[in-house]
Chains A and B, each alone.
Chain A
Amino acid sequence: MKYMLLIYSNPESWAGLSAEQREALGRSHEELSRELTEQGLLVSSAGLADPITTRTVSVRDDVPTTTDGPYAEAKEHLAGFYLVECENIDQAIDYAARMPDAKYVAVEVRPVMDSSGLEM
């Protein structure tokens, strides 16, 4: 089963971190990435640029419009993701819990849909 681990952040929580905490956060992600890669569980991962750089695109009546900033009007924004292969959701939750971001804001665990299925 593939799971998407979505890392949420907000500007205050990030600004509130000390230099050591920021460094520790980077190290934790490096370690986790290395471990997931070595185990052959990491499908993909990336950190996302600050929401100040986000453009949101919508098309109405075939006319595209672009606005600055994220779609969701929340304090929290998506800061990065991991796409991992896990035996079950509990294993995915364990990895999410190891991310320091879970301590500061939250990490969402979402099963990924696939094109296989069983006749009923």
Chain B
Amino acid sequence: MSGFELLLREETPQVLSALVRHYGHFDLAEEAVQEALLAAAQQWPEEGVPDNPRGWLIRVGSRRLTDLLRSESARRKREENAASLAAPEEFFAAGPEIDDPGGQDDTLTLLFLCCHPALSAASQIALTLRAVGGLTTAQIAAAFLVPESTMAQRISRAKRSIKQAGSSFEMPPEAERDARMGAVLHVLYLIFNEGYTASSGTDLHSAELTTEAIRLVRGVRRLLPDDGEVAGLLALMLLTDARRPARTDADGGLVPLAEQDRSRWNKAAIEEGEALVTDALSRTQLGPYQVQAAIAAVHATAERAEDTDWPQIVALYQVLEQISDNPMVRLNHAVAVSMATGPKEALELLEPLDSDHRMTDHHRLEAVRAHLLEMSGDLDGARESYLLAARRTTSIPERNYLRSKADRLGPS
């Protein structure tokens, strides 16, 4: 991403908020901002960046929005064929010159709106990337491997759903704040994951999503410096993303944590992530992102895989299991137990997961079982589980990895 593109992305939520505050009509304002961004991308490289980029974008955006509102009201008039309906003059009363609200930052309000509970996760993600992240529909479509028209529909549908839900551009009421904040952080986490799981080389577009997610969480953290979960999520992303240079080999194959070349990990990201989570744990209310970040920090700060402090990781998973009921946590807990104590105890932890409907058909349960069976010396059982896991996954790199594990155990 060029510095120029970064500037536009940073300004996106500010410009959109200014327009929505002034004119209302989130859906059309969002459209207008995209057009202003496009105009900037075309004009600035030739004419130079204006002295006040935000002012420029707001001016161009509000001119465009005024046009959109005019044609909208003309259309409505035609449709209703009712001359008695006055044009909503208040939309235009202030003219296209509106001020930058200055110190007020409405990015959070925007995020709450984009991550509205009436929307599916896929829609929340798409709308957040466009309205808050300033990405174009084409960029988002490329990252999610769908046609641009499909993504355009998804975004306009999301905006319609928000309108129908009667949501306004305001912070959610205090009583809903925590749950809504949880949804916002979850969407940012999903954006990160989408980028992180994309294997490098085959899909560079998606990999950029990790950078975007980190940038967005940094923005939220600037506004909420005392929120431990925001800090925890940022730390988790930094500590995970630090491994990116080492997590795939030259062919795009997955390299497991224990075999990664740790000298290739991003040290600056690890230091920042570790400092963030240490600070959050010492002074804010405990939450699942902080605990996950703490676990990632234990991994990140072990010089060699064999130096990993597994008993500490087990203890952290016990904490995590108490605050979040999630079978995946239990699964990872079992892996940690196998390293700290042994595979037998870990296999016992898997037993309740066999009947957990959330884990039915899940390849990860089988992959972990295979790993534990291999550790315990049951090579036939391990091979069988690796092959079953390979058949169950829908990820090509994971399938290749699991098959190679089975192959290494010899022919069946």
Whether A115 and B122, one on each chain, are in contact in the complex, defined by CB atoms closer than 8 angstroms, is no
Residue B401 contacts which of A1, A37, A117 (CB distance < 8 angstroms)? A117
Residue A39 contacts which of B121, B153, B206 (CB distance < 8 angstroms)? B153
Whether B147 and A44, one on each chain, are in contact in the complex, defined by CB atoms closer than 8 angstroms, is yes
Known contacts A40-B150, A87-B120; A112/B394 CB under 8 A: yes
In the assembled complex, which residues on chain B have CB atoms less than 8 Å from the CB atom of A73? none
Q: Which of chain A's residues has its CB closest to B246's CB?
A: A119
Most buried by B among A40, A43, A112, A113: A40
For window 235-253 of B, CB contacts with A under 8 Å fall at 243, 247, 252
Check: A118 CB closer than 8 A to any chain B CB.
yes
Whether A120 and B147, one on each chain, are in contact in the complex, defined by CB atoms closer than 8 angstroms, is no
B371-390: contact bitstring with A at CB < 8 Å (1 yes, 0 no)? 10000000000000000000
In the assembled complex, which residues on chain B have CB atoms less than 8 Å from the CB atom of A37? 150, 153
> Chain B interface secondary structure, helix, strand, loop or mixed?
helix
In the assembled complex, which residues on chain B have CB atoms less than 8 Å from the CB atom of A87? 120-122
Whether A116 and B197, one on each chain, are in contact in the complex, defined by CB atoms closer than 8 angstroms, is yes
A66-98: contact bitstring with B at CB < 8 Å (1 yes, 0 no)? 000000000000000000010100000000000
Question: Could you tell me how many residues of chain A have their Cβ less than 8 Å away from some Cβ of chain B?
Answer: 22
Known contacts A87-B121, A115-B199, A116-B206; A40/B157 CB under 8 A: yes
Residue B394 contacts which of A44, A85, A114 (CB distance < 8 angstroms)? A114
Question: Could you tell me how many residues of chain B have their Cβ less than 8 Å away from some Cβ of chain A?
Answer: 44
Q: Which of chain B's residues has its CB closest to A91's CB?
A: B120
Known contacts A40-B123, A112-B394; A117/B197 CB under 8 A: yes
Whether B203 and A116, one on each chain, are in contact in the complex, defined by CB atoms closer than 8 angstroms, is yes
Known contacts A113-B396, A116-B395; A85/B194 CB under 8 A: no
Check: B102 CB closer than 8 A to any chain A CB.
no
Check: B108 CB closer than 8 A to any chain A CB.
no
Q: Which of chain A's residues has its CB closest to B158's CB?
A: A40
Whether A40 and B151, one on each chain, are in contact in the complex, defined by CB atoms closer than 8 angstroms, is yes
Whether B155 and A40, one on each chain, are in contact in the complex, defined by CB atoms closer than 8 angstroms, is yes
For window 109-152 of B, CB contacts with A under 8 Å fall at 120-123, 126, 144-147, 150-152
Check: A51 CB closer than 8 A to any chain B CB.
no
Whether A118 and B394, one on each chain, are in contact in the complex, defined by CB atoms closer than 8 angstroms, is no
Known contacts A115-B203, A117-B396, A118-B197; A85/B401 CB under 8 A: no
Q: Which of chain B's residues has its CB closest to A87's CB?
A: B120
In the assembled complex, which residues on chain A have CB atoms less than 8 Å from the CB atom of B151? 40
Whether B199 and A116, one on each chain, are in contact in the complex, defined by CB atoms closer than 8 angstroms, is yes
Whether A120 and B367, one on each chain, are in contact in the complex, defined by CB atoms closer than 8 angstroms, is yes
In the assembled complex, which residues on chain A have CB atoms less than 8 Å from the CB atom of B271? none
Whether A39 and B396, one on each chain, are in contact in the complex, defined by CB atoms closer than 8 angstroms, is no
Most buried by B among A1, A42, A113, A118: A118
Check: B268 CB closer than 8 A to any chain A CB.
no
For window 20-73 of A, CB contacts with B under 8 Å fall at 37-44
7 contacting pairs across A/B (C-beta < 8 A)? A37-B150, A40-B151, A42-B150, A44-B147, A116-B206, A119-B260, A120-B371
A sample of 10 more A-B contacts (CB under 8 A), given A40-B150, A117-B397, is: A40-B152, A40-B153, A40-B155, A87-B121, A114-B145, A115-B202, A115-B396, A116-B194, A117-B393, A117-B401
